[in-house]
Structure 1
């Protein structure tokens, strides 16, 4: 049985990309894999519960992060720099970290598929946000985070990126 997650990704707010952003988005999300990955996500969400499909994609993120290790850093700024280096190498976007009262806020932007057509964008957001939950969970745990802490998608995420909270 897959690990289930309690909430679906929020709906994307549709905005027409500028020609420059559309060009960059197309280059970032390879045409040879785009249709396959969106179709895979659609099939999983269509044939399993949303929690099971998100759990599947989250497991992929957990496994990927375990394979793509980060060096241990001492500061939040150092962690943000290392994360952005890894994300850049994978062409997965950018991250900005900040400390809150009970969590580390993770703002992820410029993600692959961000400017897909509306029909594809929603299903891809649901899948990719779950992958990122897994990735950030492992990467922050390996920086000294507790094993019972996870990165969780926040409901107020917008179409131009995702907001996660890593904490209790």
Structure 2
């Protein structure tokens, strides 16, 4: 997704972005969640939290992809939650989200914490009329960059 130098910079930023006062708490919270719930249940929980987040931050009127990218970036930037690139492909729209502070939950939580973003993006896109389209995380192999793809429901 990115060259080695950029990946190193993003790694540094992502690991230092979350406040130190929250890291130990969030890691312990994630560990407790993992003892109580399966990964699929944790993903569902995080997606529901993402939906609640999106409901509290409505998209408003976005009529173009540039409007949508600006909304996403304004929202995330105001919270120190990284930044977004939208990449239009022939059969899907990719949402690339960089530097979300999800690493604060610890490395083991990387399989389920991105579902928060997935839930938020799906809600916003539904709000804007993307019904009939499905958003899914696409595995990038990078913990500081998440990709979600919006495409026709299979």
Give TM-score, length-normalised by structure 1: 0.75
Conserved 8 A contact 2:43-2:112: yes
What 5-or-longer segments of structure 2 have no aligned partner?
Answer: 1-6
Residues 57 and 131 of structure 1 are in contact (CA less than 8 Å); yes or no, is this contact kept in structure 2? Answer: yes
Whether 2:125 is the aligned partner of 1:140: answer yes
Paired with 1:57 and 1:132, the residues of 2 have a C-alpha distance of 8
In the alignment, which of 107, 113, 117 is matched to residue 121 of structure 1? 107
1:67 matched to 2:56? The reply is yes
User: Could you tell me how far apart the structure 2 residues matched to 1:156 and 1:49 are?
Assistant: 22
Using the size of structure 2 for normalisation, the TM-score is: 0.82
| Local SS of the residue matching 1:128 | coil
2:50–2:115 contact (8 Å) kept in structure 1: yes
Q: 3-state DSSP class of the match of 1:66?
A: helix
Partners of 2:124 and 2:33 in 1: how far apart? 25
CA distance in 2, matches of 1:128, 1:135: 12
Q: For residues 145 and 23 of structure 1, what CA distance do their matches in structure 2 show?
A: 32
The residue that corresponds to 1:32 in the other structure is 21
Bigger drift between 84-93 and 95-104 goes to 95-104
Q: 1:99 aligns with which of 76, 79, 88?
A: 88
**1:151–1:23: structure 2 CA closer, same or farther, 3 Å change rule?**
closer
Count of paired positions: 146
- In structure 2, the partner of 1:79 is 68
In the alignment, structure 1 segments of 5+ residues that lack a partner are: 1-15
Q: 1:113 to 1:58 in 2, by over 3 A?
A: closer
Contact conserved, 1:72 with 1:142, CA < 8 A, in 2?
no
Quote the residue 1:153 is aligned against: 137
